Structure 1
Amino acid sequence: MALAAHDATDRVEQLIILTERLTDVVAQQAHCFEAHRPQDAAALTEEASRLANLYRHESGRVRADPGLVTAAPSDRRRALVRATEAFDVELARHGRAVMAAKFITEGLVRSIAEEVASQREQLSGYGPGARIPASAYGAAATAITLNQRA
């Protein structure tokens, strides 16, 4: 998918709209992560992907051929630069929020795994009351199941 611009001014205007919409979606997703509601961010994933792919495609076209936008009025090009800068700020915020959510999730999984491991019998194979751990006989490992909606 590509923008269907009539001229440089039209392309810049469409790029501004695209960038502002993508910035808004990224900001909404970041807010969801910051509010510890990643499942709400998932509802925006399809739109974010579609917009991000279009943005990537169009920014690559402009990078390869700056003439696509140079004929646009300088105030509109500056508006595009400002929109891009705002997008970069929100993208950095989104990255921090995702990393924080990842860190928390990994910490929870690690805590659960450590608790499960501590609950298992700690057996020794030596001494008068020694028993051989069930795992030595091929018993199945304990599984952890996570609810994706939690």
Structure 2
Amino acid sequence: MANDPSDLLDQLILLTRRLADLAERQAALFEGSRFLEAQSLNEESARLANVYALESRRIAQNPSILEGVPPVLKATLTVETERFKAAMEAHERALGRQRALAEGLVRAIAEEAVAARPTPVAYGPGAQAYRDTSAVALDRRA
């Protein structure tokens, strides 16, 4: 817990910086398709994000708690917040690309599986080949 407004802002700066570091690291891991390594950062990211949200709400509800804070600390927090936002945007783009790749791969495999099945044939006079009626389900959570 912060002792004074400057201490609170110092803690927020460190928290924001760490969250940006984690987001950048995870985005790089996603880009390299190293999902298990990225997953190992989830617990810390979630814990710090909860603290960040709590402190942000507290300040939004009572902005006067930052009265008397040196402008240099406010400027530093602004810089770190912009870095955090940029890191989160990169994180989101990396996740989106990997998700699109995974979905495309699943669709391609499903299409190949359907194409590889033999076409059912009917027997008898005037028999016609019927299309395969078996289902292939694609889960959007791929």
TM-score, normalised via structure 2 length: 0.85
Task: For residue 121 of structure 1, report the CA deviation from its aligned partner.
Answer: 2.0
CA distance in 1 between partners of 2:94 and 2:130 (Å) = 46
CA distance in 2 between partners of 1:34 and 1:71 (Å) = 43
- Say if 1:123 and 1:130, in contact at 8 Å, map to a contact too: no
CA distance in 2 between partners of 1:124 and 1:27 (Å) = 55
Distance 1:107 1:142, change over 3 A: closer
Find the counterpart in structure 1 of residue 31 from structure 2.
34
Find the counterpart in structure 2 of residue 44 from structure 1.
41
CA distance in 2 between partners of 1:125 and 1:52 (Å) = 61
Spell out, residue by residue over 1:13-42, the C-alpha distance to the aligned partner (whole angstroms, 9 max, x if none).
Answer: 000000001111111100001112122111
Q: Does 1:64 align with 2:61?
A: yes
RMSD, aligned α-carbons = 2.5
Find the counterpart in structure 1 of residue 12 from structure 2.
15
Distance 1:118 1:83, change over 3 A: same
Distance 1:12 1:100, change over 3 A: same
The residue correspondences of 1:92-131 to structure 2 (distance < 5 A) are: 92-123=89-120, 125=122, 128=126, 130=128
Spell out, residue by residue over 1:73-123, the C-alpha distance to the aligned partner (whole angstroms, 9 max, x if none).
Answer: 111111111110110110110010010011111111111111111112223
Aligned residue pairs: how many? 138
Task: For residue 71 of structure 1, report the CA deviation from its aligned partner.
Answer: 2.0
Identity %: 36
CA distance in 2 between partners of 1:84 and 1:142 (Å) = 46
CA distance in 2 between partners of 1:122 and 1:143 (Å) = 19
Unpaired runs of at least 5, structure 1: 145-150
Q: Does 1:86 align with 2:83?
A: yes
Instruction: Give the secondary structure class of the aligned counterpart of 2:120.
Output: coil
Distance 1:89 1:134, change over 3 A: closer
| Partner residue of 2:3 out of 3, 6, 23 | 6
Instruction: Give the secondary structure class of the aligned counterpart of 1:123.
Output: coil
